[in-house]
Amino acid sequence: MIGYAFMGAAHSQAWRTAPRFFDLPLEPDMAVLCGRTPEATTAAAKRLGWRATETDWKALIRRDDVELVDVCTPGDTHAEIAIAALDAGKHVLCEKPLANTVDEARAMVAAAERAQAKGVRSMVGFNYRRVPAVALARRLVEQGRIGQVRHVRAQYLQDWIVDPEFPLVWRLQAERAGSGALGDIGAHIVDMAQFVTSDRLADVTALTETFITERPLPGSSSGLTASGSSERGPVTVDDAALFIGRFAGGAVASFEATRFATGRKNSIRLEINGSTGSLAFDFESMNELSFYDGTDDPETAGFRRILVTEPTHPYAGAWWPPGHLLGYEHSFTHEIVDLLRDIAAGADPTPSFADGLQVQLVLDSVVRSAQSGSWHSIPS
Amino acid sequence: MIGYAFMGAAHSQAWRTAPRFFDLPLEPDMAVLCGRTPEATTAAAKRLGWRATETDWKALIRRDDVELVDVCTPGDTHAEIAIAALDAGKHVLCEKPLANTVDEARAMVAAAERAQAKGVRSMVGFNYRRVPAVALARRLVEQGRIGQVRHVRAQYLQDWIVDPEFPLVWRLQAERAGSGALGDIGAHIVDMAQFVTSDRLADVTALTETFITERPLPGSSSGLTASGSSERGPVTVDDAALFIGRFAGGAVASFEATRFATGRKNSIRLEINGSTGSLAFDFESMNELSFYDGTDDPETAGFRRILVTEPTHPYAGAWWPPGHLLGYEHSFTHEIVDLLRDIAAGADPTPSFADGLQVQLVLDSVVRSAQSGSWHSIPS
Amino acid sequence: MIGYAFMGAAHSQAWRTAPRFFDLPLEPDMAVLCGRTPEATTAAAKRLGWRATETDWKALIRRDDVELVDVCTPGDTHAEIAIAALDAGKHVLCEKPLANTVDEARAMVAAAERAQAKGVRSMVGFNYRRVPAVALARRLVEQGRIGQVRHVRAQYLQDWIVDPEFPLVWRLQAERAGSGALGDIGAHIVDMAQFVTSDRLADVTALTETFITERPLPGSSSGLTASGSSERGPVTVDDAALFIGRFAGGAVASFEATRFATGRKNSIRLEINGSTGSLAFDFESMNELSFYDGTDDPETAGFRRILVTEPTHPYAGAWWPPGHLLGYEHSFTHEIVDLLRDIAAGADPTPSFADGLQVQLVLDSVVRSAQSGSWHSIPS
Amino acid sequence: MIGYAFMGAAHSQAWRTAPRFFDLPLEPDMAVLCGRTPEATTAAAKRLGWRATETDWKALIRRDDVELVDVCTPGDTHAEIAIAALDAGKHVLCEKPLANTVDEARAMVAAAERAQAKGVRSMVGFNYRRVPAVALARRLVEQGRIGQVRHVRAQYLQDWIVDPEFPLVWRLQAERAGSGALGDIGAHIVDMAQFVTSDRLADVTALTETFITERPLPGSSSGLTASGSSERGPVTVDDAALFIGRFAGGAVASFEATRFATGRKNSIRLEINGSTGSLAFDFESMNELSFYDGTDDPETAGFRRILVTEPTHPYAGAWWPPGHLLGYEHSFTHEIVDLLRDIAAGADPTPSFADGLQVQLVLDSVVRSAQSGSWHSIPS
């Protein structure tokens, strides 16, 4: 694994936990952790449970005891690392967004295709697909339980930089993060909405906004938090992105990603209205799925609060009895489970790098539309 | 109508509104309002829309232009007024609780039976039965949609006297109000639970509590609110009453009525678990009924939030399109509608005085159990 | 009053009820009801409580016993009636949308200005402003309780025509209704969002959609419901409209109006994120306002579910004790109360016809943007 | 660790995870797993991550590489194992209920006292205390944020045996389980309510009920699930237990534990009303705490939905950013964290065996009251 901040901690817990609750055809061995500074990396490896460390990711890729590389670094490094790893014959799990630019993402897809021909697998880490309620939503759509999809309504609302004195961490710098709310959290709802509907956004019209254009330079940054300083620098990413558009299958859609929704901590909302039913989800109640079955008799029809903890629900049977909730990091455990099963089966995991590229193309169209003021089609 | 405070205002609105939304076999004519003080009564009659006034309820009963007497006075006067009215051949709608004592209630039932033989009807005003969601709950139980009732869980939570400086209004004095939370609001949940289940409480064990035993004497009281004074007097009713027990049909039950549930304004909660389904209601969301259908496939089973505003729902079709909510006073309008239809049809309205007596017997057993520390059976 | 369908019934109840709960400087007298067919109008007048009837609205306007004209007809007739009434010196309450076209709306504003000079008042009926929770939301924004408004998120979701066999009622015909979901319900959320924020939409980019393009011709139409027939005709209005845009004050916004949100009956959602707090409202829980106060200590900060039934809440003190809910039609009663008080005070009621025109200009920009695929500025 | 079923899996995950997210003064080493059948134990040890196995718990206690014994067996074995382990100088974590009888529990307390004198620590596993929202609730009560506690309302609702064909697993047999819903889940809410209020139940009046008195014998039992057989046997425990009572500090209380609340999967509800505020919790939304602050201005007072994921919330800072939820098993991780810190600090962990005994005394009074029909005082 390369990187050991927020995502690194989540992935480590997933690698450690997956074999304890799921029957896996492959046994994960947490071999090597890679970071830039030796001491911090060693401390992180001890904390997170990795056997060895490297400070050069190229060295990590060369190691014989590494069969899979888990890329948990900021987006500007994804392409170089992932391509090198794949070309070296290592399976790759790459955190989202796949890359900071479409060009990088295309190169990564090409590398993934080269690797696939040699049986080497790749996956991009849209972990929210593996929240049981989200996976159940897709299943219900696939089963036709809501009919033809008419409306998609997706929001990812956070508030962690609403304070103008919050410092200029790397996630607020375009050269590191690529974009702001759009790429960081907007990417998740684009993937989630396309995943649940098994459909793709076709075109969009968009706006982006940066409410606070200058912030204190961070003393030291660790991704999500940082201590401030007295100097200020420009915020070069979006604080919020909104867009509406159409899916290829005819549904109309509204998306919004923001870090300025005061009081909303990690509210990922998805609501889908179909011709015979509807679904609604909010990550702040992540163990629940709301489902309206339009075929119920009108007298007792109503949105059902499904507690997605039943043995037959996706992933849920491996854990606890009904009503005993799962948390955020379980989605990463499920990601690992699916990845390992696909690798063992010689199957291509999803979401693939091509799926990641497609999300990138949506984000790119959003940016272009916000700049041009016109509709943009998403290339297929 | 006799009395024009809180209940008088609610009833007046109901009498005025019922013929505007419902096809009624009888046309209500708001003839005479009766109160003790001439000026206040005249002002109230103007405000509430009554044609004439009386200051002596016996005079009101003698009037030829009065066919029905609506008793909205405190509980200590119900028996005398209602019995006199019935014996004079007037239909009677009497606010709950039916009376302050079981003996009075028994006398009222006797009067109601005498009157019934002459085609004179009587009804006790448990208005919450006519909230559409509550009426729908009963319908679903009757239809067997939740199977055999196993659990009844009822709470009526208010907080309007949690401030120890709230004055000693008549509702806190045993000689006027009979009891405190128990008779005022506990009566409602006893009736509601028995109504929804079509069953009767068989025995109980109880406790009552008075948290604030002394309060400022009111300058002037108007039932629910009053300005305080510097003198204090003893609170002679319960602030809260809790009891558990069994229904005749085998369900176990828990009841709680309190005016000390800080933050709960008028939270009337009823939850019923049956062998194949469950129902839940909270008056603070009075247009909703929660329904769990245990026969749904486990993958999509969940409590349904039924918005009880569909044309087929009880009472709802007379009002607005689906999703356009009803309020508190609509329950009284529905009460009037049912009362007038029964009178025209020569049928006995429900809840009858006998139903009111039965609730009184439950409350009486609660008081006795709280005093004796032992279980008490409710006479049938 | 002209018209006696859905809106006519709501307004009648409001005229009847307002003086019973509020101290009014003027006493409403429900004089004349006007409809096209004599028998139906007479029956409606009896049902709704009007003293006399007319079948020609011009005759109604000429009557000396008419001082105020309440226009409850479809939008294509608003301009002609309202202008004539104002010019005849009658106060006018006109249902929304103010008109079907911007030109008509402009003419109505001109008439309102002419009338105002003579002390004749006019008001457009955006009733949802008078839901206590919505009025409280505005008050909190005005008081600075959420700081600078950053995000506005508004949705009006219904599902009453999701069935493709639902007939082609007048609301689905452009020549009568002007537009579909956009004008019928989108108008409400545009007004509500602008009202709560005291700000105005500055520009928009939009899409509209008609999912079902052909429907059975109605046997007979009465606005919201109708029985079907075997012939079919084209739906000439939008089924759904989505747009994003910016407020003059800098907030970004997302709006959506649809009649195809299966399971959502009358879900009017408004969420506003400010720099120090947030507000959220859903009409399906119309007695509640969610408020996040960012100045609360982080340990206990959270969205507060305010039950808007306290004596100090807008309009609520006139009704029942806390926790006793209000319904849909109360918003109309509050509208009448404010209108009569303004007329008596010689003040101009709000929302004015100019406010109605401004909403019309927003809707017009939405239509133009949806057609052109580009951003449109709303003229101020 | 002894036992590897439901609780064993939860504890294993906690032992494994605690050092990865928390700074611990002691490093847990998952040394030995003990079970009765060698093959199953070996398989479980591999699955759950234990280095070695034993099939005799006495052998496990004798091992030098064992410093702490985690007892995850059914309640009838707790006393013998825990006392032996303590007397052998091993720290003990014992799952709840502490024992099946008061006598056993008293003996365990005596052993714990003997051990404490030698620096050997003991703890009983009421894991729900360590749900962050529950720990926050206690903190707020301690800080006086709700004033004097007046009402405690606790329910533990499950539905896993509502099907009469569900087999007679060990949890339904008095000789193994001690009691039914009362000891299994009622124990949790008794502990939770006493923990949050820092008060103790003083007396109770109770009822218990067994709805289904005979069930199919299980083919093979594994605690919570089992396949049925054609023979039937008697259910010898309660299906539901209800009681009301008083806390030493004057609050009145209502408790209910049932496995027959159809549709409620693991609904642990606690509501506490104090003189100046209220708290409410439901485990089915375990990351939320509802808090009503009666000192808020009445205009904006309302129950706050606190998402208990802020850095300052109990335990939450060690995990993810705000809004990223925790699950059921995190409560066990927190239990281990507190236990290890106390052991290292030479402090006595809570809940102690004495706390476990006190809960047992409450349950015993409930049983006695249900049998006698009279109030029972809980010995202090």
8-state DSSP, B145: T
Of B376-380, C198-202, C327-331, which gets the smallest average pLDDT? Answer: B376-380
CB C115 within 8 A of CB C82: no
The mean pLDDT value of chain B amounts to 96
Structure confidence by residue, pLDDT tens digits, B210-227: 999 999 998 754 455 545
Amino acid at D316: A
- Looking at the complex, does the CB of residue B299 fall below 8 Å from at least one CB of chain A? yes
A-C Cβ pairs (cutoff 8 Å, strict): 124
Distance CA A318, CA A311 (A): 8
The arithmetic mean of pLDDT across residues D11-38, rounded, is 97
Q: Which tens digits make up the pLDDT trace of C67-79?
A: 999 999 998 999 9
- Residue indicated by tokens 């607005």: B320
- Burial zone of D297 (CB within 10 Å; 0-12 exposed, 13-18 middle, 19+ buried): exposed
Residue B221's pLDDT is what? 46
E-strand spans in A285-373? 288-293, 303-307
Between CA A184 and CA A169 the distance in angstroms is: 13
Four-way CATH pick for B131-326: 3.30.565.10, 3.40.50.300, 3.30.1360.30, 3.30.360.10? 3.30.360.10
Question: Half-sphere exposure of B370 toward its Cβ, with a 13 Å CA cutoff?
Answer: 22
Q: In the predicted model, what is the mean pLDDT of residues C360-374?
A: 97
Set of chain A residues whose Cβ sits within 8 Å of the Cβ of D12 = 20
Inter-chain CB proximity A17 and D17 less than 8 Å: yes
Confidence of residue B178 (pLDDT cuts 50, 70, 90): confident
* Cα separation, C261 vs B24, whole angstroms: 36
pLDDT (tens digit per residue) in D128-187: 999 999 999 999 999 999 999 999 999 999 999 999 999 999 999 998 888 999 999 999
Domain C130-326, CATH 3.40.50.2000 — does that match? no
Distance CA A104, CA A93 (A): 16
The DSSP code for C146 is T
In eight-state DSSP terms, residue C322 is T
Fold of D6-128: Rossmann fold (3.40.50)
Give the residue from chain C lying closest to B50, CA to CA.
C20
Chain D partners within 8 Å of C306 (Cβ): 299-302
Q: Give the lowest-confidence range in A23-37, B138-152, C220-234.
A: C220-234
Model pLDDT, residue D218: 87
Chain A residue nearest residue C301, CA to CA: A263
The tens digit of pLDDT for each residue in D76-101 reads 999 999 999 999 999 999 999 899 89
Per-residue model confidence (pLDDT) at position B11:
98
pLDDT tens, position by position, C303-347: 999 999 999 999 999 999 999 999 999 999 999 999 999 999 999
CA pair distance C62, C64, nearest whole angstrom: 6
Confidence of residue C227 (pLDDT cuts 50, 70, 90): low
* D128 touches D268 (CB < 8 A): yes
Distance of CA D140 to CAs B131, C165, D143, D274, D278, Å? 37, 56, 5, 11, 10
Residue C305 main-chain phi, psi, to 5 deg: -90, 95
Q: What is the rounded CA–CA span in Å between residue C96 and residue C112?
A: 15
Residues contacting D300, CB < 8 A, separation 6+: C140, C145, C291, C293, C304, C306
Q: Residue B124 above 80 pLDDT?
A: yes
Q: Would the pLDDT of D221 be above 50?
A: no
Nearest to D194 by CA among D123, D241, D134, D277: D134
User: What 3-state DSSP class applies to D133?
Assistant: helix
* pLDDT attached to residue A278: 98
The interface pTM score, or ipTM, of the predicted complex is 0.95
Measured between beta carbons, the chain A residues lying within 8 angstroms of D166 are none
**CA distance readout (Å), D141 to A173, C193, D196:** 43, 39, 7
Dmax of chain A from CA atoms?
Answer: 66
Question: Alpha carbon of B327 to those of A137, B48, B285, C266: distances in Å?
Answer: 35, 18, 10, 16
pLDDT per position as a tens digit, A164-196: 999 999 999 998 888 999 999 999 999 999 999
Q: Which two tokens stand for residue D174?
A: 């008095």
Please report, for chain B, the start and end positions of each structural domain, with discontinuous segments joined by +: 6-125, 131-326
CA atoms within 13 A on the CB side of C251: 28
Query: Of the CATH numbers 1.10.10.1110, 3.30.360.10, 3.30.390.50, 1.10.1060.10, which one belongs to the domain with range D129-326?
Result: 3.30.360.10
pLDDT, residue B224, reads: 56
Q: Would you give the end-to-end CA distance of chain A in angstroms? A: 32
Average pLDDT, chain D: 96
Q: How many CB atoms lie within 10 A of CB B237?
A: 22
Cβ-defined contact of C245 to A375 (cutoff 8 Å) = no
CB contact under 8 A, A291 and B300: yes
Nearest CA in chain C to A205: C205
Taking the CA of residue B306 and the nearest CA in chain A, the distance in Å comes to 4
pLDDT tens digits, residue range B73-101?
998 999 999 999 999 999 999 999 899 89
List of chain A residues with pLDDT < 70: 220-229
What's the mean pLDDT in C114-129?
97
Q: Give the pLDDT score at A219.
A: 74
Q: Are D92 and D123 in contact (CB under 8 A)?
A: yes
Question: What percent of chain A is helix, strand and coil (3-state, nearest 5)?
Answer: 40, 25, 40
Asked if A143 is an interface residue toward chain B (Cβ–Cβ < 8 A), one would say no
Q: Comparing C-alpha atoms, which of B93, B32, B25 is closest to residue B59?
A: B32
Which residues of A fall within a CB distance of 8 Å from C376?
none
Hey, of A285, A304, A308, which one would you mutate to test binding to chain B, going by the most B CBs within 10 A of its CB? Answer: A304
% residues pLDDT > 90 (chain B): 94
D328-377 residue pLDDT tens:
999 999 999 999 999 999 999 999 999 999 999 999 999 999 999 999 99
Q: Which of B16, B224, B321 sits opposite C16 (nearest CB)?
A: B16
Whether residue D226 is predicted with pLDDT greater than 70 in this model: the reply is no
What is the spatial distance between Cα C18 and Cα A206, in angstroms, rounded to a whole number?
Answer: 45
Main-chain phi, psi angles of B47, to 5 degrees = -65, -45
Helical H segments across chain B, by residue range: 6-21, 38-48, 57-62, 78-87, 102-116, 132-142, 174-177, 181, 187-197, 330-345, 353-372
What is the gyration radius of the CA atoms in chain C, in angstroms?
21
Residue B144 CB neighbours (<10 A): 12
* Digit-coded pLDDT (tens) for B249-288: 999 999 999 999 999 999 999 999 999 999 999 999 999 9
Question: Can you tell me the distance from the alpha carbon of B80 to that of A79, in angstroms, rounded to the nearest whole number?
Answer: 89
Contacts of C26 (CB under 8 A, 6+ apart): C340, C343, C344
pLDDT for res A94 = 98
What distance in Å separates the CA atoms of residue D224 and residue D217, rounded to the nearest whole number?
Answer: 14
For residue range C131-187, list pLDDT tens digits in order.
Answer: 999 999 999 999 999 999 999 999 999 999 999 999 999 999 998 888 999 999 999
| Contact check, Cβ <8 Å, D240/B262 | no
CB-based contact D261 B277, cutoff 8 Å: no
3-class SS at A339? helix
**Chain D residue with the nearest C-alpha to that of C291:** D300
Report d(CA A243, CA A264) in Å as an integer: 20
CATH, domain range B6-125: 3.40.50.720
User: B113: burial class by Cβ within 10 Å (0-12, 13-18, 19+)?
Assistant: middle
